[in-house]
C-alpha cells in the first residue's frame, strides 16, 4: 500500500480550493506529525469499553478475516423525495441476504417525522444533527433535536446514539455536550491516509483532525464515548474529499477515485469505507438541474461494491456493535444485530412500516397519520401534533389535544419500542423476550431540553488558528447551502 504524506502546505492549498470543490467539510486535514500528541496504552484500554485509535482491525483480527464495512450516511432533513433517494441508494443486499442499512443525521427544519419513524422501523439508524443546523452547536441545539426525534418520530431515546456536527464544525465542548447528553458516539472528524483509524473511544482523546489542536493533551478526554472518523476519498491530486464526493468531479472521475480508495481499505487494513451524502443534491426538484446522472453514478458505485462475500453495508450503530465485540467475517451473518426480521404486529399501527404513502407531489399521507401544519412547514406524525410550532426554546410544545380527547395519541412509553407500539390504543403489541425493550436513556426531566447544567470541561476553548482560517469558507458554504435549501423547500 502506498502511503501518502500530506504536508501542511498542501493542506493549506486544499482549503483554499474547497469552495470550488464541494460542500461542508468536503476537504479536510491530517498530517503525520499532528497525531503524535495522541497516546494510548492498549494494555489498559480494552474492549468492550475502551479502544485505542489504530489503523489495524480490532480484536487482533487479520485483515483477510475482517468484514469490510461500508457506511452510507445521509444528512439533514428527512422528506419524502429525499427518503426515496436514500432507499434507491440502499437497494443492495448484505452477504446474509438482509438489505443494506444506513444512518441519517437529522436536522429538524423541513423534516417529516412520520418518515423518520418509517426509516427507523425499517432497521435504519436515526441520529442527531441539531435543531437548526448550526455550526458549533449549543447543548440546547443538540438536546432539542433529540427530543423532537423521540416525540414526533417515536424513536426511543436509547436508540438515538449518534451525533454529527453541522458543517462538521465541532469543538471540545461539542463532544463534551454529547457525552453529557448520553450519546454513544460522534462522527464529525476526518480520516485521510495516515490517520485512517478504525473507530476508537475518546478515553485518550482525539486522534483525528489534530491540525485543529483538538488532539492536544487534556483537550478531550471522554471515557466510553466513541469517535467514528469519516473516511475521506483522496482524489487524483491527493486532496481529501469527504462529503458529497460526487460534486467534486465528473461521474467517471469520482467513480475512479472512490474505487481506488475502496481498494486501499479493502486490500489494506479493512477500515470502514464511507459514502456520505446530502441527499438533496441527488434528488430532482422542480426548477433545479437534473440530478439523475449524479444519483445514478452513486447508485452504480454502491452496486459495484455489493456482492462481495465480505462487504457489508451497515449503520454506524451496527458498526459499533461489531467494534465492541469483533468477530471474523465468517461469523458476522449470524450476529443478532445483523438480522432483518420485520416486526409483525398483526395489525396496522402506524409504526412506520405500513400506511405511509407518498403521493406524486411528494407528500406523505396515510389514514393513521396526524397532519401538523404550521404555515411554513407541514409534517406528519403518528403521535400528537404540538399546539404551536416547535422552537429551539420549546422543541416539544404541549400536545394540541388534551389527553382525555378520544383522538389523543399515546406517546411511546419507556418499556416499548415504537415499532410495536400502537399509539391509538396505547398498547405494546409485543411483550415477549424477543422484543422486550426498556429505555434507560430517558432524560431525567423530560423538560431539560435546555441542555445540561454542567459547563464544558475547563480545557475547552475555541479551536486553533487553522480552524479559524477556514471559517470564511464554511461561512460561504453555510449561506449558499441554506439559501439553496430554503429556495427549494419552503
Exactly one of 462, 472, 483, 487 binds ligand NAG (CB under 6 A); which one?
462
Judged on CB neighbours under 10 Å (0-12, 13-18, 19+), 414 is: middle
Size of the site for ligand NAG (CB under 6 A): 20
Q: Is 447 in the site for ligand NAG (CB under 6 A)?
A: yes
Residue whose C-alpha is closest to residue 174's, from 189, 157, 156, 154: 189
The stretch near ligand NAG (CB under 6 A) out of 67-75, 76-84, 367-375, 410-418 is 367-375
The stretch near ligand NAG (CB under 6 A) out of 257-265, 313-321, 332-340, 366-374 is 366-374
Q: Is 430 in the site for ligand NAG (CB under 6 A)?
A: no
The stretch near ligand NAG (CB under 6 A) out of 194-202, 251-259, 285-293, 362-370 is 362-370
Q: Is 474 in the site for ligand NAG (CB under 6 A)?
A: yes
Q: Is 194 in the site for ligand NAG (CB under 6 A)?
A: no
C-beta of 394: minimal distance to ligand NAG in Å?
8
Nearer to ligand NAG, 168 or 416 (CB): 168
C-beta of 363: minimal distance to ligand NAG in Å?
15
C-beta of 348: minimal distance to ligand NAG in Å?
5
Q: Cα angle vertex 384, ends 382, 387, to 5°?
A: 145
Q: Is 475 in the site for ligand NAG (CB under 6 A)?
A: yes
Cis peptide before 276 (omega within 30 of 0): no
Q: Is 445 in the site for ligand NAG (CB under 6 A)?
A: yes
Per DSSP, the three-state class of 215 is: coil
C-beta of 473: minimal distance to ligand NAG in Å?
9
Nearer to ligand NAG, 85 or 140 (CB): 140
Query: Rounded CA gap, 128 and 149, in Å?
Result: 8
Q: Is 366 in the site for ligand NAG (CB under 6 A)?
A: yes
C-beta of 461: minimal distance to ligand NAG in Å?
9
State the pairing for strand pair 421-422/427-428: antiparallel
Residue 471's H or E segment, with its range, is helix 465-489
Nearer to ligand NAG, 56 or 450 (CB): 450
The stretch near ligand NAG (CB under 6 A) out of 63-71, 149-157, 207-215, 473-481 is 473-481
Query: Rounded CA gap, 137 and 129, in Å?
Result: 9
Q: Which residues pair with 230 in a beta bridge?
A: 190
Nearer to ligand NAG, 55 or 450 (CB): 450
Nearer to ligand NAG, 5 or 378 (CB): 378
Cα dist from 110 to 250, 316, 327, whole Å: 30, 24, 40
Nearer to ligand NAG, 148 or 196 (CB): 148
Q: Name which of residues 298 to 357 contact ligand NAG (CB under 6 A).
A: 348, 355
According to DSSP, residue 10 is labeled H
Exactly one of 54, 87, 122, 136 binds ligand NAG (CB under 6 A); which one?
136
Nearer to ligand NAG, 249 or 366 (CB): 366
Cα dist from 336 to 54, 340, 341, whole Å: 26, 9, 10
Q: Residues 67-104, buried b or exposed e (16+ Cβ, 10 A)?
A: bbbbbbbbbbbbbbbbbebbebbbebebbeebebbbbb
Sign of the Cα torsion 235, 238, 244, 248 reads negative
The stretch near ligand NAG (CB under 6 A) out of 66-74, 294-302, 328-336, 445-453 is 445-453
**DSSP per-residue string spanning 110-140:** T--HHHHHHHHHTT-EEEE--SS--SS--HH
Q: Is 450 in the site for ligand NAG (CB under 6 A)?
A: yes
H helices, E strands: number in the chain: 10, 19
Grid coordinates of 311:
462487504
Q: Is 224 in the site for ligand NAG (CB under 6 A)?
A: no
The stretch near ligand NAG (CB under 6 A) out of 59-67, 116-124, 156-164, 444-452 is 444-452
Residue whose C-alpha is closest to residue 127's, from 98, 169, 166: 166
Each residue 142-171 as x (binds ligand NAG by CB under 6 A) or -, in order, gives -------------------------x-x-x
Q: How far is CA 130 from the centre of its chain?
A: 11
Q: Is 367 in the site for ligand NAG (CB under 6 A)?
A: yes
Sign of the Cα torsion 266, 272, 278, 284 reads positive
User: Where does this chain bind ligand NAG (CB under 6 A)?
Assistant: 135-136, 167, 169, 171, 348, 355, 366-368, 375, 445, 447, 450, 462-463, 471, 474-475, 478
Amino acid at each position: 500500500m502506498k502511503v501518502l504524506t500530506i504536508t501542511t502546505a498542501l493542506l493549506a492549498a486544499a482549503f483554499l480550493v474547497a469552495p470550488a470543490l464541494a460542500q461542508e467539510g468536503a476537504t479536510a486535514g491530517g498530517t503525520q506529525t499532528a497525531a503524535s500528541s495522541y497516546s494510548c496504552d492498549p494494555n489498559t484500554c480494552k474492549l468492550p469499553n475502551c479502544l485505542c485509535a489504530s489503523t489495524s482491525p480490532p480484536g487482533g483480527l487479520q485483515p483477510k478475516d475482517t468484514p469490510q464495512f461500508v457506511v452510507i450516511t445521509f444528512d439533514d432533513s428527512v422528506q419524502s423525495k429525499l427518503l426515496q433517494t436514500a432507499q434507491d441508494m440502499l437497494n443492495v443486499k448484505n452477504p446474509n441476504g438482509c438489505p443494506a442499512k444506513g444512518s441519517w443525521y437529522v436536522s429538524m427544519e423541513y423534516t417529516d417525522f412520520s418518515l423518520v419513524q418509517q426509516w427507523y422501523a425499517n432497521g435504519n439508524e436515526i441520529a442527531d444533527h441539531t435543531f437548526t443546523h448550526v455550526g458549533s452547536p449549543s447543548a440546547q441545539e443538540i438536546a432539542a433535536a433529540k427530543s423532537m426525534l423521540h416525540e414526533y418520530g417515536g424513536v426511543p431515546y436509547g436508540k438515538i446514539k449518534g451525533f454529527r456536527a453541522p458543517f462538521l464544525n465541532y469543538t471540545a465542548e461539542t463532544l463534551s455536550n454529547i457525552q453529557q447528553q448520553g450519546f454513544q458516539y460522534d462522527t464529525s472528524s476526518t480520516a485521510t491516509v495516515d490517520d485512517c483509524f478504525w473507530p476508537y473511544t475518546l478515553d485518550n482523546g482525539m486522534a483525528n483532525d489534530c491540525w485543529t489542536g483538538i488532539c492536544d493533551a487534556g483537550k478531550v478526554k471522554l471515557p466510553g464515548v466513541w469517535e467514528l472518523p469519516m473516511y475521506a476519498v483522496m482524489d487524483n491530486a491527493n486532496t481529501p474529499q469527504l462529503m458529497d464526493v460526487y460534486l467534486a468531479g465528473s461521474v467517471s472521475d469520482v467513480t475512479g477515485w472512490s474505487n481506488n480508495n475502496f481498494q486501499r481499505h479493502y486490500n489494506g487494513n479493512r477500515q470502514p469505507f464511507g459514502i456520505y451524502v446530502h441527499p438533496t443534491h441527488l434528488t430532482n426538484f422542480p426548477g433545479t438541474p437534473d440530478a439523475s446522472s449524479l444519483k445514478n453514478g452513486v447508485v452504480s458505485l454502491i452496486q459495484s461494491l455489493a456482492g462481495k462475500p465480505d462487504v457489508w453495508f451497515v449503520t454506524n450503530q451496527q458498526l459499533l456493535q461489531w467494534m465492541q465485540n469483533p468477530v471474523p467475517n465468517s461469523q458476522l451473518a449470524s450476529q443478532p444485530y445483523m438480522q432483518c426480521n420485520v416486526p409483525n404486529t398483526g395489525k396496522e399501527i402506524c409504526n412506520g412500516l405500513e400506511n405511509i404513502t407518498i403521493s406524486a407531489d411528494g407528500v406523505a399521507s396515510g389514514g393513521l397519520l396526524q397532519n401538523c401544519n404550521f404555515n411554513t412547514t407541514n409534517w406528519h406524525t403518528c403521535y400528537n401534533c404540538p399546539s404551536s410550532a416547535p422552537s429551539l426554546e420549546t422543541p416539544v410544545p404541549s400536545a394540541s389535544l388534551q389527553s382525555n380527547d378520544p383522538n389523543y395519541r399515546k406517546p411511546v412509553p419507556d418499556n416499548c419500542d415504537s415499532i410495536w407500539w400502537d399509539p391509538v390504543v396505547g398498547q405494546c403489541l409485543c411483550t415477549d423476550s424477543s422484543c422486550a425493550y426498556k429505555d434507560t436513556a430517558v432524560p431525567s426531566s423530560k423538560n431539560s431540553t435546555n441542555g445540561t447544567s454542567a459547563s464544558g470541561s475547563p480545557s475547552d476553548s475555541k479551536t486553533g488558528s487553522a480552524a479559524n482560517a477556514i471559517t470564511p469558507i464554511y461561512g460561504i458554504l453555510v449561506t449558499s447551502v441554506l439559501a439553496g435549501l430554503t429556495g427549494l423547500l419552503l
